[in-house]
Structure formats: C-alpha cells, structure tokens
Amino acid sequence: MDLQLLPSLAFAVGLQHEAPAFFHSWVGVSVIPRPEVVTGFVAGGVEIDIKDIGNTTETTVVPTLRAGLSVCEKPRSLPIVSLYALAGFKRSPLEGNAVRTGIGVTFPALLPLAEAGIPTMFEGTADVGPLETVYSFRVGWSF
C-alpha cells in the first residue's frame, strides 16, 4: 500500500457578522491513501479559535475531520490546491455547543506568498447550535 502522511497546519483571521475578528488555527495530519497528481485525502486534527465575547476571551478546541481532493504537480509532492469539506463539534459555554460544518480551499505550494501577506487559505463555516447558526469566514495561511 502506498500511503502518505503529511502534517497540516494553518493560521487565520476569522470573521463573523457583527463580531470582532478572531484568531483561528488548525493542526492535524492528512492521510493520502493513494498519492497521485489528483488524489483524495482525509485529515484529522483540531481547530483552535480564540474569540473576544463580551468582556471575556474564550478559547475553543474543536476536534475536526476534513475530506477532499488535492491537485499536485507530481505524485507525493506538496499539493498545489486542495478543496475540502470539514465537520467537527464545538463545546462553548459562552456561544453554546454546536456542530461545525464547512468548506475550504487552500494552496499549500504557494505558501511562499505568505511573506508578501498574500493568503493561501479560505474557509467558510457554519456552527449549527440549538438556538442559532453562526457563520464564519476564515482567511489565512496553510500547508
């Protein structure tokens, strides 16, 4: 079996309607069962959000799974672009517990653009709770 494991890391600014911007990060491991030029992948890890909510700063750790497709220059190389869906569960005493779903696109091979401040990751998420759904857009750097 030709299995490939890659570390996965991201730092981003999160944006929500009528709320201050927040810090977002992701750390995980991507599993590529058959490394090819166009290949599927799954990733497991945690998302970490640090938000100011009222007079309190809350840090949430969200166990998250990602699954998607990557396009690489050659098999076993760093992806040029990855498209994925994500799902997780957020526990938050301030915002309420919620199921997190979302979609994202990242350009890991373009990470050198980060030096010029150009983002290489874009995500849209929805935290679906019992009382409301909170939408976020995240932009940052990922590999």
Predicted confidence (pLDDT) per residue in 39-51, tens digit = 999 999 999 999 9
% of the chain with per-residue pLDDT over 90: 76
Number of domains in the chain: 1
User: For residue 55, what are the CA distances in angstroms to 48, 51, 52, 58, 87?
Assistant: 19, 10, 7, 10, 29
- Per the structure, the complete domain to which residue 26 belongs is given by 4-142
- CATH number, residue 25: 2.40.160
Read off the pLDDT of each residue in 20-27 and give the average, rounded to a whole number. 96
> Residue 108: its pLDDT value, please?
87
% of the chain with per-residue pLDDT over 70: 99
Helix (H, G, I), strand (E, B) or coil at 111: helix
> Residue 1: its pLDDT value, please?
62
Read off the pLDDT of each residue in 113-118 and give the average, rounded to a whole number. 85
The pTM of this model reads: 0.92
Residue 17 or 86, more confident: 86
